[in-house]
Chain A
Amino acid sequence: MSAAARPYPRGLRVVFGLALPVAGLIAWEISARYGTVPSYLIAPSVILAATWEMVLSGELWRHAGDSLFRALGGYAIGAAAGVAMGLLAGIARPVERFYDPIVSLTYPVPKIVVLPILIAWLGSGDGSKIAVVTAAVFYPSFINALYGAKSVNRIFVWSARNMGASPFQVFAGVILPAALPQVLSGLRIGLALAFIVTVAAEMHSSRTGLGNLINTAGDSMRFDLMYAALIAIAIFGFAGDRLILILRRRALAGQSLGKEGANA
């Protein structure tokens, strides 16, 4: 076990890590060029060229902008409400009492089910998409903020109060910093969800956006456009996650000492 647990040196890991994707891409490229494959498997080089062309022509940006607006709009509302309510519920019993049964009953329910109803309420434009993203982001933000605020060591709170800190000082100086790691985990889960839900909602019903582009391009056999949209979605999902990780590392610079790799 101890032998197997020691990983390869870094350089070798990079080589191995690239092995599967690169092998897959090469096999794909060769079979698309020389073999007989279904028409939707166009060569990666063609996909890249098409993507680049769409980036230059601005078409990809237009769709990406719409998607980002919906994803980040819903994320901003859902995360702000979730974190604020979660922290409040963590320090005020009545607030927790109010939310606890509602949240525990509804959080295992996929929020996307209400999308057709939200469309009936808010129309098939940005409103319904932002609303469903908001609902999806609220839950992890709320739950993690609540547990973050509740898990604050009581002794810290007592000491601060004992030394004459006002309730606001206790909140801003003790509870908030202590809850921050978990708050940020919630925000990270929420951001990933925001992108998933946005793309799903756009695939369901929309006239613009990357999810819509994938659908319409697939339907009209423009597979190059479809892959371009896919690449854009993958980049956004990945970049958003890395951005949160960087923010997290900065915000927790003094806190995460000795906890390397504690969070998956």
Chain B
Amino acid sequence: MGVLPQAAPSAMNLGAAAHFVARWYSVPLVLVVWEALSRSGTVSRRLMPSLVEIAEASWAALASGDLLFHAGISLTRAFTGYALAIVGGILLGVAMARSRLFDALFEPLFSFGYPVPKIALYPIFILVFGFGSLSKVTLIFLECLYPITVNAFYGMRSVDRVHVWAARNMGASERQIFWRVMLPGAAPQIFAGLRIALPISMIVVIITEMIGESRGLGYYIHDSSAAFEYARSFAGVAAVAVIGFTLDRVLVGLRNRLIFWERGTAFIGAG
């Protein structure tokens, strides 16, 4: 008896460690291959800087405040457009689901416009809204509006009728049905739309900053590449990667907290 309780935790730790290695080994593997390639000299060291150089460049950019400055600008733009799209998209999606007039007016605009790359409108947006943040925020708003509206619409439409009937049968008012039955029923799909739109907001802000801007992470990456300082560009890429990953995790955490009765899937297709 005395042996087992001691042996069990260590065996469990060993199992957990093995499991951890089996789960994550490929990430360090890729990094090791990268480092080996970079150091072997088969590829240009400047084009493929070693991880140490990238880490140093990241640290220098963090310490000087450059990275935080540009990240702050990109994030402000992305968030503004995203937040406006959340408000507009959910309102519009709900209105389309509840009013056949809104449905008839807007449904074609969304089903026809969805597959059209709206990024192509950027030069026009520059003409209308200028080179600064406004044209970028508007484009982010427009790109994010589509998935959010469409998912809110389908979410509201797919609410189980039996639940609505049951609530009505038990004497719930229309208002109560909306807030207590319809909206929670649509919430998983609304969040699916938010999750599709989040990386889109990042894509649009980065690409518009790459095209014509003197601030923001997109500019930072573009500028350091143009100056052949590739370690710095990789530092910028790493910053975008960390931000993209963190925001997605935060959104998933928020979703699982708000929609505690239903687990979400880990992935959805995002570019």
Cβ–Cβ contact A264 & B177, under 8 A: no
Q: Mark A167-204, 1 if CB is under 8 A from B, else 0.
A: 00000000000000000011001101101110110011
7 extra interchain contacts, Cβ-Cβ under 8 A, other than A8-B104, A102-B27, A113-B237? A5-B157, A97-B26, A106-B245, A112-B210, A116-B210, A140-B269, A203-B207
Cβ–Cβ contact A200 & B26, under 8 A: no
Whether, in the assembled complex, A229 has its beta carbon less than 8 Å from a beta carbon of chain B, the answer is yes
Question: How far, in angstroms, from A116 to B224 measured CA to CA in the complex?
Answer: 9
Cβ–Cβ contact B245 & A109, under 8 A: yes
A38 proximity list for chain B (CB < 8 A): 127-128
Residues on B lying within 8 angstroms of A by beta carbon are 22-27, 30, 47, 97-101, 103-109, 112, 114-117, 119-124, 126-128, 150-151, 154, 157, 164, 174, 177, 182, 198-199, 202-203, 206-207, 210-211, 217-218, 221-222, 225-226, 228, 230, 233-234, 236-237, 240-241, 244-245, 247-248, 265-271
A215 proximity list for chain B (CB < 8 A): 123, 211
Determine how close the nearest CB of chain B comes to the CB of A180; give it in whole angstroms. 16
Question: B120 touches which one: A103, A115, A199, A204 (CB < 8 A)?
Answer: A199
B217 proximity list for chain A (CB < 8 A): 113
A111 proximity list for chain B (CB < 8 A): 271
Residues on A lying within 8 angstroms of B by beta carbon are 1, 4-8, 12-13, 16-21, 38, 40, 97-117, 119-121, 136-137, 139-140, 143-144, 147, 185-186, 189-190, 192-193, 195-197, 199-200, 203-204, 210-211, 214-215, 217-218, 226, 229-230, 233-234, 237-238, 240-241, 264
Q: Which 4 pairs across A and B sit closest by C-beta, in order of nearness?
A: A140-B269, A116-B225, A16-B104, A241-B115
Residue pairs across A and B with Cβ atoms less than 8 A apart, 13 shown, are A7-B104, A17-B105, A20-B109, A40-B127, A106-B245, A113-B221, A196-B271, A203-B120, A203-B123, A214-B120, A218-B123, A229-B120, A237-B116
A interface, over-half SS: helix
A186 proximity list for chain B (CB < 8 A): 269
Question: How far, in angstroms, from A17 to B102 measured CA to CA in the complex?
Answer: 10
Question: A140 touches which one: B26, B150, B211, B271 (CB < 8 A)?
Answer: B271
Question: How far, in angstroms, from A214 to B198 measured CA to CA in the complex?
Answer: 26
Cβ–Cβ contact A197 & B265, under 8 A: no
Determine how close the nearest CB of chain B comes to the CB of A230; give it in whole angstroms. 5
B117 proximity list for chain A (CB < 8 A): 192, 195-196, 199-200, 233-234, 237
CB nearest to B30 among chain A residues: A102
Question: How far, in angstroms, from A5 to B156 measured CA to CA in the complex?
Answer: 10
Cβ–Cβ contact B241 & A21, under 8 A: no
B230 proximity list for chain A (CB < 8 A): 117, 120
B241 proximity list for chain A (CB < 8 A): 105-106, 109, 113
B268 proximity list for chain A (CB < 8 A): 143
CB nearest to A135 among chain B residues: B271
CB nearest to A97 among chain B residues: B22
Cβ–Cβ contact A203 & B211, under 8 A: yes
A230 proximity list for chain B (CB < 8 A): 120-121, 124
Question: How far, in angstroms, from A193 to B107 measured CA to CA in the complex?
Answer: 22
Cβ–Cβ contact B105 & A16, under 8 A: yes
Given A16-B101, A17-B104, CB of A120 within 8 Å of CB of B271: no
Question: How far, in angstroms, from A117 to B109 measured CA to CA in the complex?
Answer: 37
